Structure 1
Amino acid sequence: MNPIFSIWRQPTETMKYMLAKNSIGYSLLIYVLASISVGMVTMMDTGIFTGMPLALIVFISIAISFIGAIIGWFISTALYTWVGKWLGGRGRYAEMLTVIPASSIVQIWLSPMNLALLVLYGSTLFEAPVSEFEITTIPLGVYFLVNLVNLAVGIYGIVILCKGIGLVHGFSAWRGLGTVAIITGIMIVLGIILLLIFGAIIFAVITAMF
């Protein structure tokens, strides 16, 4: 079985295969390929690297994507294992670590589209929009089509993730979705709290200065 192809037709069987294979090396390979696919355009429209050679921009973008993916892999695995056990699961961290990368396999299939964007628009792809009323430096039709494809792939990736969590914990994909929802809710609350704290600190500093 080749997970890169079978994930579309047999997602559950593919994850069972990955669980049985229990290969961290294969999981890393998935993240390398997914990071190359997504990373080549991850800094699109930001303007952060304006003036840099295109090759360097792409390299830095891919490196950032890969590092972020690896850090997120270990942290999210711990959260999915922990919260899943709240919901009656029985999965182990090592098992979850093997299955979670399956949700990133679909991102590998975005590479032809992202490579085409890179070839067609080059450095322009990474420049910030000139006007505050613009949202991108590429044609709007292309921009919305790209985002529509990314949304569809992202949704399918979440479906795979929920199935994977359910598989490891021995419960349904719906309970897997509940696990993801709880973690997302916690992250949103923590984000709001941190934002309020930093806002209060900045307000206090400005007040003290004046």
Structure 2
Amino acid sequence: MNEKMNPWLSVWVKPRKTMRYVIETKSMQYMLIVVLISGVIDILDKASNKNLGDSFALPLIILMALVLGPLFGWIGWWTSSGISYWVGKWFGGQGSFDDLRMAFAVSYIPLVLLGVFWIFDILIVGAALFTEAPEVPYSQIVWLIIRSIISVIVGIWSTVILINTVAEAHRFSAWKAFATIILPVVVPVFFVFLLFMFI
């Protein structure tokens, strides 16, 4: 591939071409940085959703994210990539395990860029971000609403990107990629549902 690309920009509109470019030109260490940062952001998101600020001070929450985030991000990356590598083979996928790791890492790029908003979140709202019933002024509420809308849009688009990067890694259709991603989620839920039906 002769076309030079900036994955941080091109992934938004050309996910499959970006994926192929990354496989051919970028090292695993380069993508590992994306994975570790995404892990920090994921911990911050979970801390906010679980209202950890009701039990822990803001500096401790940030420290937990910086320490645990990269570890859990790395574990989740390997696990998700391994499952998609294995399931994708059922559909005739040709990607290697390293290709699938690249695919997931590339799909994390929008989430890492979204993580920049966390800096503004903490500066604008502070510890109230992590509490169950935050008392914040109207201006901060407006900011949180805008931030939530952007997060939903980026989250949906990240899923679209993941489907395309997995499709490119395995060199098959987006529909097969969708099945590769969704089956490991749907099948266990289905069996748990059947289990409860017969208990």
State TM-score, norm by structure 1: 0.77
Name whichever of 162-171 and 37-46 sits farther off.
37-46
2:69 matched residue in structure 1:
65
Distance in 1 separating the partners of 2:141 and 2:10: 33
Q: Counterparts of 1:24-173 in structure 2 under 5 Å?
A: 24-50=28-54, 52-129=56-133, 141-173=142-174
Q: Which amino acid aligns with 1:83?
A: V
Distance in 2 separating the partners of 1:71 and 1:193: 29
Change beyond 3 A, Cα 1:179–1:32: same
Larger Rg: 1
Q: Which amino acid aligns with 1:66?
A: P
Q: Which amino acid aligns with 2:93?
A: G
Distance in 1 separating the partners of 2:49 and 2:132: 5
8 Å Cα contact 1:44/1:126 also seen in 2: yes
2:11 matched residue in structure 1:
7
Change beyond 3 A, Cα 1:191–1:50: farther
User: Secondary structure in 1 aligned to 2:52?
Assistant: coil
Structure 2 unaligned segments of length 5 or more: list them.
none
Structure 1 unaligned segments of length 5 or more: list them.
130-135, 201-210
Q: Which amino acid aligns with 1:148?
A: I
- Percent of aligned positions that are identical: 24
1:203 matched residue in structure 2:
none
- How many aligned positions are there? 190
Change beyond 3 A, Cα 1:172–1:45: closer
Compute the displacement of 1:29 (Å). 0.7
Q: Which amino acid aligns with 1:90?
A: Q
Q: Deviations over 1:17-69 (max 9, x none)?
A: 11113522112111233234454444115333446442221121343333222
Distance in 1 separating the partners of 2:191 and 2:147: 31
Q: Which amino acid aligns with 2:73?
A: A
Compute the displacement of 1:111 (Å). 2.6
Q: Which amino acid aligns with 2:87?
A: V
8 Å Cα contact 1:43/1:126 also seen in 2: yes
State TM-score, norm by structure 2: 0.81
> Superposition RMSD on alpha carbons, in Å?
2.6
